[in-house]
Amino acid sequence: MSIAGNEPMVADPADSEPTAVAPAASPRRRRRWRMLRRSLAVAGLLACLAFVGGFFVFTDMVGRVGRRVDARADAVVALTGGAQRIADAADLVRQGHARRLLISGVNKHTTPAQLAILNPELVDLVDCCVDLDYRARNTIGNAIETRRWVQRHAFRSLIVVTSNYHMPRSLVELGNVLPETELVPHAVSADRIDTERWWRDPVAARLLFMEYLKYLAAVARTWVEHDPEDSRVAVLIGGRKPVATAPVLR
């Protein structure tokens, strides 16, 4: 007669199977991940240094851009945004540096007579030597309208008048649409903003930094898109509206 308590214990085969252990990452794989992380960190650091260094190069470019034009050109274009830009552009025509002036980006409600009242330098030029562009909404539009105007008159050289901080981006946009036209910069100092000692003025520092970002965007866009009239990015920048409409000058 067998006694249950004396029966030999038999181990469950399942309990005797070895427990699965996740294989540890090989030393070679760990080294690869460490190298990848280090490479990404170095690349990020270099990108940050290039970005910061580029800003200082940009501010130096703004400080060195031409302020006085001694050369002659076929025409002058003034990009609106400050009264001094128009005054300087008109003086260039009056002094014989160019024979015709385009003022790009004029408010659609401003008549030539009103513009002459606001800018006395234009009084004796409006009827003979000045064209007004009412369509350009931004710097890209300025470039489009300027190209149409230059091609219409077959100009080969152009004096560009705008603020000093705006000049680098303007030259990028104009150079993109007018690669065969000689561009001569005439920079106007921004009113009440010291762009030479910008680090002392938070307003100037912010202005230059924002313009630096726009400059980088213009360089990148013109590198991949050569005609802003067919540019989807340009339309987005213009608030999803056409950057410029039909070519009609007043």
Q: For residue 3, what pLDDT is reported?
A: 47
DSSP state of 22: P
Work out whether strand 101-104 and strand 157-163 pair parallel, antiparallel, or are unpaired: unpaired
Whether the predicted pLDDT of 126 surpasses 70: yes
Q: For residue 99, what pLDDT is reported?
A: 94
What predicted TM-score, i.e. pTM, was given to this entire model? 0.78
Distances (CA, A) of 50 to 43, 55, 206: 10, 9, 19
Q: For residue 167, what pLDDT is reported?
A: 95
Q: 17-63: per-residue pLDDT in tens? A: 555 554 555 777 878 888 888 888 899 999 999 999 999 999 999 98
More confident residue, 64 or 247: 64
Domains in the chain with CATH codes: 64-237 (3.40.50.620)
Look at the block and give the residue holding tokens 């067998």. 2
Residue 74 has φ and ψ, to the nearest 5°, of -70, -35
Q: 146-185: per-residue pLDDT in tens? A: 999 999 999 999 999 999 999 999 999 999 999 999 999 9
Query: How distant is the alpha carbon of residue 126 from its chain centre?
Result: 32
Q: 186-224: per-residue pLDDT in tens? A: 999 877 788 888 999 999 999 999 999 999 999 999 998
Provide mean pLDDT across the span 227-231.
78
Dump strand ranges (E) for 67-181.
Answer: 75-79, 101-104, 130-133, 157-163
